[in-house]
């Protein structure tokens, strides 16, 4: 959507290489991971912009929307869905497009994440999905049906991350 910024934090690697620790971190304040640190910075910036003069001019209130997915054994799972976790998400691709042209979805039910949608939770468009722009190749990847939660505060964002953490598939390290 216009005026929104999407951020994707992605870790990839073999089992036991420290992806979880890098992203989530440890218990202590100084040992927290990349995701909690990014959320703290993002939340502070959203608060600053919402209280600044720019909001009074535009009339818009910024918020943070989260979706958390994992790729495990070649399957993509929505870790914040309300239903069974064995529902797999299908990854869709919209090929590179001309600069300035809106994406032409391969799926007629495709819709971007509505970051300004009211309410706390939305499964985007049922068969719709969230958009992630890849800067490297210009293609667009989306996940039809991914659940998006609006975090009203830093604390609610951390609660959502705790729920996602509890829903992760955990394999045995070798």
- pLDDT at residue 136 in the model: 52
Nearest Cα to Cα of residue 109 among 95, 94, 97: 94
Q: Is 106 part of a structural domain of the chain?
A: yes
Q: Is 140 part of a structural domain of the chain?
A: yes
- pLDDT at residue 97 in the model: 58
- Is 3 part of any known ligand binding site? no
- Is 16 part of any known ligand binding site? yes
- Is 171 part of any known ligand binding site? no
- Is 5 part of any known ligand binding site? no
- Is 18 part of any known ligand binding site? yes
Q: Is 37 part of a structural domain of the chain?
A: yes
Q: Where are the alpha helices (DSSP H) in 52-153?
A: 53-58
Instruction: Give the whole-angstrom CA distance, residue 109 versus residue 97.
Output: 19
Distances (CA, A) of 136 to 44, 113, 125, 132, 133: 28, 21, 27, 12, 9
How many domains does the structure of the chain reveal? Answer: 1
- Is 119 part of any known ligand binding site? no
- pLDDT at residue 51 in the model: 85
Is residue 88 within 8 Å of 75, Cβ to Cβ?
yes
Low-confidence ranges of the chain (pLDDT < 70): 1-4, 53-58, 96-138, 171-174
Q: Is 173 part of a structural domain of the chain?
A: no
Strand, coil or helix: what is 35? helix
- Is 128 part of any known ligand binding site? no
Q: Is 45 part of a structural domain of the chain?
A: yes
- pLDDT at residue 6 in the model: 74
Instruction: Give the whole-angstrom CA distance, residue 167 versus residue 116.
Output: 26
- Is 15 part of any known ligand binding site? yes
Q: Is 135 part of a structural domain of the chain?
A: yes
Is residue 6 within 8 Å of 31, Cβ to Cβ?
no
- pLDDT at residue 18 in the model: 92
Cα torsion 134, 1, 118, 62: sign: positive
Q: pTM higher than 0.85, yes or no?
A: no
Q: Is 10 part of a structural domain of the chain?
A: no
Its domain, for residue 151, covers 19-167
Alpha carbon 155 to its chain centroid, in Å, reads: 17
């Amino acid at each position: 959507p216009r005026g929104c910024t999407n951020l994707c934090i992605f870790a990839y690697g073999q089992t036991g290489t420290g992806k979880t620790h890098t992203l989530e971190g440890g218990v202590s304040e100084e040992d927290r991971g990349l995701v909690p640190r990014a959320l703290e910075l993002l939340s502070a910036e959203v608060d600053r912009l919402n209280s600044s003069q720019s909001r009074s001019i535009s009339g818009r209130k910024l918020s943070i929307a989260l979706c958390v997915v994992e790729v495990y054994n070649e399957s993509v799972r929505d870790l914040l869905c309300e239903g069974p976790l064995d529902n797999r998400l299908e990854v869709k691709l919209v090929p590179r497009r001309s600069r300035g042209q809106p994406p032409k979805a391969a799926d007629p039910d495709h819709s971007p994440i509505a970051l300004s949608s009211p309410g706390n939770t939305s499964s985007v468009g049922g068969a719709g999905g969230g958009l992630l722009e890849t800067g490297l190749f210009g293609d667009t990847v989306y996940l039809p049906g991914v659940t998006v939660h609006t975090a009203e505060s830093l604390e609610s964002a951390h609660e959502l991350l705790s729920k996602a953490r509890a829903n992760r598939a955990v394999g045995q390290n070798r």
